[in-house]
Amino acid sequence: MFLSDRDLSWAIERGGLTVEPRPGSFEPSSIELHLDRIEEAKIWDMTAINEEGATHGLEPNTLLIGKYKFEKFAPKFLKPIPPRSSEEKVFRKNNSVVLKPHGFMLWQTKEAVGSETGDYICFIDGKSTKARAGLIVHLTAPTVYPGWVGNLTLELANLGPFDLILKEDDVLTQITVAKVSSLPAQTPGEAGSVTMKQSSVDTSGDE
């Protein structure tokens, strides 16, 4: 069952649901999330990725997606949004980021959300009004599993005709929250794959 505004407030008060910083207000059955500082807007550093990929015999701009793991890639290959250049689909302009049609970027939410106790499951959702301008805020993975808490990484893409101007504190996304029927037998980590011999980060994802 999804939580109403009253139950969302109560769940945060009780400590089962984490939303930090705490929301100033609630929607009827969701909590709006905000874009973090502009320094938390990132794109993939394709130059660095291609350099490392070449050492593994990969063609430029290719990725072995089946072996790729975001947690290993992100610290090494994400970079801040650069200032404007003619070929970029994403660039920084003063305190804004311009996302041109067909551009793609990542941006952390200001709020860390989730349920440390495992009582609740959260779902990221977009805002319909923003979507109608062509903005996508997450791709395929809306679930914040019980037991995990952290800042959410939004996958922002522009499928519309406009150059979208994005700023810190913009509300582009929201979470809905549901009560889990009973405490999960596994934590998110326990449900993961066994890694016995993973070594350093590499673009081939070889293990």
Q: Which residue in 9, 50, 96, 151 binds another protein (CB under 8 A)?
A: 151
Is residue 87 part of the annotated active site? The answer reads no
Helix (H/G/I), strand (E/B), else coil: 97: strand
Of 155, 168, 190, 207, the catalytic one is 155
Q: Is 153 in the site for another protein (CB under 8 A)?
A: yes
55 is an interface residue for another protein by CB under 8 A: no
| From candidates 69, 93, 100, 167, binder to another protein by CB under 8 A | 69
Q: Which of 158, 94, 146 is nearest to 115 (CA)?
A: 146
Member of 59, 71, 87, 169 binding another protein (CB under 8 A) = 71
**Could you tell me which of 138, 91, 144, 136 has the C-alpha nearest to residue 120?**
144
Of 134, 160, 184, 188, the one binding another protein by CB under 8 A = 188
21 binds another protein (CB under 8 A): no
To the nearest whole angstrom, how small is the minimum distance from the Cβ of residue 196 to another protein?
5
Tokens representing 168 are 């810190």
Residues 36 and 110 sit within 8 Å (Cβ to Cβ): yes
Cβ contact 56:203 at 8 Å: yes
Q: Please give the helix or strand (H or E) that residue 14 lies within, else none.
A: helix 5-14
Angle between helices 46-55 and 70-77 (to 10 degrees): 120
We find the least distance from the C-beta atom of residue 88 to another protein, in angstroms, to be 20
Interaction between residue 116 and another protein (CB under 8 A): yes
A 10 A CB-CB count for 14 gives 10
Q: Which two tokens stand for residue 128?
A: 């319909």
24, 75, 83, 161: which one contacts another protein (CB under 8 A)?
75
Quick check: 187 binds another protein (CB under 8 A)?
Answer: yes
Both tokens assigned to 35: 């874009």
Residue count, binding to another protein (CB under 8 A): 37
Active site residues: 155
Residues that bind another protein (CB under 8 A): 36-37, 39-40, 42, 69-75, 78, 106, 108, 112, 116, 148-151, 153, 187-201
